[in-house]
Chains A and B, each alone.
Chain A
Amino acid sequence: MNSVKFLFAAYIATWVIHGFYLGTLARRYKRLRQEMKELGQNQLGLGKEQ
């Protein structure tokens, strides 16, 4: 029984899932920073108009 391939498959799957989740967190963080920046600029613009 070549069980070692199952062992490595389980370990790799674990880190692929964690990696994928951390990747989504990083993408969400980047998008939110961008939105914060845009909001800051818009509010600055509104302040100037007023």
Chain B
Amino acid sequence: MKRLFPILSIVAAVLLAYALYRALVVAPADAQQGEVYRIIYYHVPSAWTAFLLFFINFVASIQYLVNGKPAAKSAAKWIVIAIGIMGVVAAFLPAVQRQLAAIGMLPSAMATTVLAIPAFYFLIGKWFPGQKLDVLAVTTAEVGVVFCTIVLVTGPIWARPVWGIWWAPGDIRLTSTLVLWLIYVSYLVLRRFSNSAQTQMLAAALAVFGALDVPLVYFSIWFFRTQHPQPIIGGSSGGSIDPRMLDTLVISWMAFLLFAFLVCWSRFRLELLQREVEEGYAMESLAGSAETKSSLNERAVNRTPVERRAV
């Protein structure tokens, strides 16, 4: 494991450099936007990575909430299995297939996406038992906020030359993304400044509600009138994308995913260390109070009768 981190770091650095080369040199310029469209190779992968991290945070938070409550845990397990089965069956229903065709999505793509939900749920529960679920939740929330910040910064930089404005007030995609960011920032603030024993539970509940904003952000451009462009990949715009652009986008996302994984790994270890230190302080104060108690007892035993009367 110790060797794996530096090896993966080198792979990530090479992949990020290659993605940058492809983004600036290999991918052709856009017919309408010219060179500035290349922001897509940082903006979109950052958004997808943030969504994935918030989804992991959502699953870890649910697992944490139901942990230690056998009835709730069993109910959650069967709900997740039911979601997987119903999603796969629904994907191949003619009515749903027509809807999917309208937005340019294959039924198999929907089935795979829906199956990922139970897969993630059970794998996370298996790999991160007990308190590690909470550590995973805080890790993915924090790194997700970093990627979401990048989306919110690069978006206006892209919008200014293309739309002529930095921000479209009231636009549902932009507003819901900002709300998503604010929810997870509140989550981190809650965890940072609350000392209550219930903080982890409250944070997990907040994360569950926060994650509900992710589908709203993602599907908002399909169902609402918005300034934000329609998706070219899997969208209803009927547009197509140059294969070199698509390859560059996928490579860029892979590079950012690997980078995010390594950052999460570091943050996870940091959180474990932080808890170890807190435990150390608690043990020290316990030892300190035990020592004070024993020295007080010792003094009480050694008191002279006169001193005892005075006390």
Same complex: yes
- A residues neighboring B (CB under 8 Å): 1, 3-4, 6-7, 9-11, 13-14, 17-18, 21-22, 25, 28-29, 32-33, 35-36, 39, 42-43, 46, 49-50
* Given A28-B270, A32-B274, A13:B153 Cβ within 8 A: yes
Taking CB atoms, residues of chain A closer than 8 Å to B161 are: 1, 3, 6
**Complexed CA–CA distance, A42 and B288 (Å):** 10
B263 within 8 A of A: yes
| CB pair A6 B158 closer than 8 Å | yes
Which of A10, A28, A49 is within 8 Å of B43, CB to CB?
A10
Taking CB atoms, residues of chain A closer than 8 Å to B270 are: 25, 28-29, 32
- What secondary structure prevails in chain A residues at the interface with B? helix
**Complexed CA–CA distance, A32 and B277 (Å):** 7
Taking CB atoms, residues of chain A closer than 8 Å to B153 are: 10, 13-14, 17
**0/1 per residue, B251-288, Cβ < 8 Å to A?**
00000000100010011001001101100110110011
B52 within 8 A of A: no
**Complexed CA–CA distance, A25 and B20 (Å):** 25
Q: Which 9 A-B pairs have the closest CB atoms?
A: A3-B36, A39-B280, A10-B154, A10-B157, A3-B161, A10-B39, A21-B146, A32-B273, A14-B42
Which of B34, B146, B284, B288 is within 8 Å of A18, CB to CB?
B146
Taking CB atoms, residues of chain B closer than 8 Å to A39 are: 277, 280-281, 284
- B residues neighboring A (CB under 8 Å): 20, 33-36, 38-39, 42-43, 46, 146, 149-150, 153-154, 157-158, 160-161, 259, 263, 266-267, 270, 273-274, 276-277, 280-281, 283-284, 287-288, 291
Which of A10, A35, A43 is within 8 Å of B158, CB to CB?
A10
**Complexed CA–CA distance, A3 and B158 (Å):** 9
Taking CB atoms, residues of chain A closer than 8 Å to B43 are: 10
- What secondary structure prevails in chain B residues at the interface with A? helix
Which of A25, A29, A36 is within 8 Å of B280, CB to CB?
A36
| CB pair A25 B266 closer than 8 Å | yes
